[in-house]
Copies of this chain bind each other. A is one copy, B any other.
Amino acid sequence: MARNKHPEETVNRILDTAFRLFLENGYERTSIQDIVDNLGGLSKGAIYHHFNSKEDILAAVTDRITRESNQMLLDIRDRAGLTGREKLKLIFKVALDRPAQDQLFMVAPDFSRSPQMLYAVLRETIDDAAPHYILPIIEQGIADGSIVTEYPAELAELLMLCANIWMNPLMFGSTVEQSRRKFLLFRQMTQNFGLDILDDGLISRLMDLAQLYEDRQ
């Protein structure tokens, strides 16, 4: 094989293929050889040049998925002229409005077929998204008086656990109606905490995404 002058492209091809296979067949049932077979011409050695193990590939796959999302979180977190409460709402709106969400809901099979993928999302949510993006926004909200809570770090975790895992139709294969009821209970819970996260427009957007997922079942 000709020497690859664009290692980043190779890495991205490997990650595209690995991600698709992990979701379609499950992480455990996907071997490095399966990834090679689906890469059309890339050797096993080329993969091992970039990754030490399948675990390594999984880590890179989830890193890449969350990087784009994290950049968006960062932009809103550090924006001037908004209260903490407004930023929290905006984050949910921007995250859901991205066209990439439609692709994900149309393409991604049920995460429940891959415990490792679900687990990776769970850990990323608790170890990264909640403390580094949501917590600073809640702390700003406490400082500017727009959010009242004694438990900012825990509230950040609880919100993101609901949003990324429990309310995510991809995680438990929820129907549109089940999803709608989860969104409404989540809205009630957040309103009880004095937060204003899901308005009717966002609930309708969430149901469109849940519908994209249901249509493929």
Contacts and interface: CB of A to CB of B under 8 A. Distances in A.
Interface in A143-163: 149-151, 153-155, 157-158, 161-162
A166 B172 contact: no
A185 B116 contact: no
B166 A185 contact: no
B151 A161 contact: no
A10 interface: no
Interface in A183-217: 184-185, 188-189, 192-193
Interface string A106-124: 0000001001101100110
A57 B41 CA distance: 39
B166 A161 contact: yes
A182 interface: yes
A181 interface: yes
Given A116-B115, A192-B193, A193-B192, A185 B155 contact: yes
A126 interface: yes
Copies of this chain: 2
B126 A153 contact: no
Interface in A17-56: 28
Nearest to A157: B166
Nearest to A150: B184
Contacts of A166: 157-158, 161
Contacts of A118: 115, 119, 122
A122 to B, nearest CB: 8
Nearest 3 interchain pairs by C-beta:
A192-B192, A115-B119, A151-B185
Interface of A: 28, 112, 115-116, 118-119, 122-123, 126, 149-151, 153-155, 157-158, 161-162, 165-166, 172, 178, 181-182, 184-185, 188-189, 192-193
7 contacts: A28-B28, A118-B119, A119-B119, A153-B178, A154-B184, A189-B189, A192-B193
